[in-house]
Amino acid sequence: MLQPAESTGAQLVLDVLADEGVEIVFGYPGGANMPLYDKLYAHSIEHVLVRHEAAAAFAAGGYARASGRVGVCFATSGPGATNLVTGLLDALMDSVPVVAVTGQVRTALMGTDGFQEADVTSIMGPVTKRSVCVRDVRDLERVLRAAFRVARGPRPGPVLVDVPSDILKAACPKMDPFAARPVAAAPEHPGDGAIDETIELIRNAKRPVAIVGGGARSANAVYLYRELVAMLELPHTATINGLGCATPGDPRFLGMLGMHGWKAANLAVNTADLVLALGMRFDDRVTGKPDKFARNAKIVHADVDASEFGKILPVAVALRGDLRQTLERLVRRLGREETMPRFSGWAAEAKALGGPLPADRAPHGELSATDVLDAFFAVAPDDTIVSTDVGQHQMWAAQRQRAIHPRNFLTSAGLGSMGFGLPAAIGAQFAHPERTVVAVCGDGGFQMSMAELATVRRHELPVKILLIDNRRLGMVRQWQELFYERRYSHTDLSDNPDFVTIASGYGIRGERIEDAGELRDALERFLGSREPALLHCACFPAENVWPLIPPGATVDDAMEAAPQTEAIVA
């Protein structure tokens, strides 16, 4: 009995979470975390029961991406905890703040291979910023507070706190609302010398290009970024995590950069004499062959994480610090320049390097995935939040998205995890219940998480699923076509189920279209309701994503069509 106690470890966990601003948790109960769920029964924190722990981590990540707040997920010991691995690694790769709280077998059983025991902190070490097992209830509040501090940044990311069941049951004092909170270390700021060097490089540049990444989203620096490129009349591009940073309709925005990026963006960077890399990390899908990337340019790299400097490419100037404050200093200094450089002529020249997106055409009457996405983005409300799964549809969506802010376009960028799209949309809908949220999914990725339709229905979420079904693992099939002599090994999904019937089984309205003439009316019905809905688009199976810079190649090797022009149904 806990008569002398004021609280228990489980109650303390929930009280600390609430004090940290947590209003919602995504999770799944089990034996080791049952004491936590017992206290959750009457707590003010809302709990969302997912149908798989992987979805809990993805939903927490989607919530964090869309809101800027820390996403939280719960799982039990052993398989419950290990099912979080992919979602936490996704958050680590894309710098998304998530705190996972897992149950563990009681401390006396640890190390004995007890039922549902796993060395969770060791497993999670490489996929989180910090992974801690609490062995003494007196440490619990301190560890939880530190978890939120570390998750929030300066560079955000996931943290795991593993709590044995006996610690959850243990007696402890109530949370002290007046206790000192751990204070996050202030990020360093670039010195005056680095700012001076950057200004001098901008002043002397003829063909500068800015590249913005997900760091602008994390640092809440989007509007300062827009101010910087506007005052310099600078051509600019974005990594996939930086999409939405540009002012909507900005004619100097060149589109997404990289393997499937817009031609103007890739050629402008290839032609540039100065690159301002702002909150991005030179991922291989952006650079291709690093020694040929921006080959004529000096690079100014601004990032909060010093480990990124020189990791892939040498830099002329490293601006270490909070990106918001870095951009504030640059904007302020440039605004005082008597002859502030402007690059409108070069921006027009850079824009002219490109052209319309190349696309495969579906046979007459068949539905083209790119036509579906063009039509969707043309009619979706401006503030729509779009999440994607991973594959061809992800790249087509990234090329065509019209996000007004990077928190409106959510995708598993660094990890590229299938199954992300639907649970991330669920998290985003909880973050913004008043907004239209659409999960753009492929038929492969959707089947990895479609059990979360039950979560959508239980909570009456108006999440929409735009299903691009080409009956293939499309991106792998495309690479098999182009790089593996059309040996189509295990990418055929022609035995897909009837997705509309599955949706109806969960009580969700579905519609299937396969003819281009049905598209516009179907999209109006799909978006015109506040009910959850699935629009199943049965698309031509051999459509490819263009342009494509082959892996490890350069913009000079970009492909805009298959070597043989006839349609290849694989």
Q: Any bridge partners for residue 104, and if so which?
A: 164
Architecture of domain 192-352: 3-Layer(aba) Sandwich (3.40)
What DSSP string runs through 429-480? HHH-TTS-EEEEEEHHHHHHHGGGHHHHHHTT---EEEEEE-SB-HHHHHHH
Mean pLDDT, range 303-323, rounded to an integer: 96
What confidence score (pLDDT) does residue 570 get?
56
Structural contact between residues 53 and 7, judged by C-beta atoms closer than 8 angstroms = no
What are the pLDDT digits (tens) for 210-247? 999 999 999 999 999 999 999 999 999 999 999 999 99
Which pair of structure tokens corresponds to residue 48?
């969302």
Q: Is the pLDDT confidence value at 179 over 80? A: no
More confident residue, 208 or 188: 208
Query: What pLDDT score was predicted for residue 62?
Result: 98
In one-letter notation, the amino acid at residue 256 is M
Mean pLDDT (whole number) for 271-279? 98
Give pLDDT tens digits for 459-486.
999 999 999 999 999 999 999 999 999 9
The pLDDT tens digits of the residues spanning 511-533 come to: 999 999 999 999 999 999 999 99
Residues 30-89 have pLDDT tens digits of: 999 999 999 999 999 999 999 999 999 999 999 999 999 999 999 999 999 999 999 999
Helix (H, G, I), strand (E, B) or coil at 390: coil
Position 113, amino acid: D
Rounded to whole angstroms, the Cα distance separating 502 from 450 reads 9
Which of 9-13, 185-189, 219-223, 308-312 has the lowest average pLDDT?
185-189
Between CA 173 and CA 185, with CA 179 as vertex, the angle to 5 degrees is 130
Measured CA to CA, the distance from residue 205 to residue 200 in angstroms comes to: 9
Structure-block tokens of residue 284: 């291989």
Q: Is the pLDDT of residue 382 over 90?
A: yes
Q: For residue 100, which of 33, 170, 155, 40 has the smallest C-alpha distance?
A: 33
Burial 318-337 (b: 16+ CB within 10 A, else e): bbbbbbbbbbbbbbebbeee
Residues 6+ apart with CB under 8 A from 334: 199, 202, 228, 231, 232, 340
Judged against a pLDDT cut of 60, whether residue 4 lies above it is answered with no
What is the model's pLDDT at position 189?
81
pLDDT at residue 340, rounded to an integer: 84
Structure tokens at 334: 């440039």
417 HSE (CA, 13 A, CB side): 28
Residue 569 has a pLDDT of 53
Distances from the Cα of 399 to the Cα of 174, 258, 461, 494, angstroms: 51, 11, 27, 27
What percentage of the chain has pLDDT greater than the value 90?
A: 91
Dist. CA 323–CA 224, nearest whole Å:
9
Instruction: Identify the CA nearest to 313 among candidates 217, 245, 211.
Output: 211
Reported as a pLDDT band with limits 50, 70 and 90, residue 437 is: very high
User: Comparing 192-352 with 369-557, is the CATH topology the same?
Assistant: yes
Contact status, residue 242 vs residue 213, Cβ threshold 8 Å: yes
CATH number for domain 7-172, candidates 3.40.50.2300, 3.40.50.970, 3.30.460.10, 3.20.20.140: 3.40.50.970
Helix (H) or strand (E) holding 481: helix 474-483
State residue 177's pLDDT score: 81
Q: Which of 145, 146, 140 is nearest to 169 (CA)?
A: 140
Residue 69 burial by CB count (10 A; 0-12/13-18/19+): exposed, middle or buried? Answer: middle
Q: Is a pLDDT exceeding 50 seen at residue 288?
A: yes
**Residue 519 vs residues 344, 376, 526: alpha-carbon distances, Å:** 39, 9, 10
For the chain, what is the mean pLDDT? 95
Q: Which CATH number applies to 369-557?
A: 3.40.50.970
Q: Which residues contact 566 (CB under 8 A, 6 or more apart)?
A: none
Q: How far apart are CA 368 and CA 362, in angstroms?
A: 5
Band of residue 1 on the pLDDT scale cut at 50, 70, 90: very low
Q: What are the pLDDT digits (tens) for 116-132? A: 999 999 999 999 999 99
| Chain center to CA of 267 | 26
Domain boundaries, the chain: 7-172, 192-352, 369-557
Dist. CA 43–CA 37, nearest whole Å: 10
Q: What is the pLDDT of residue 2?
A: 40
- Tell whether the torsion through CA atoms of 72, 73, 74 and 75 is positive or negative: negative
Rounded to 10°, the helix 9-19/140-152 angle is: 30
Residue with tokens 């998205």: 401
**Among 208, 212, 219, residue whose Cα is nearest residue 237:** 212
Residue 9 confidence (pLDDT): 97
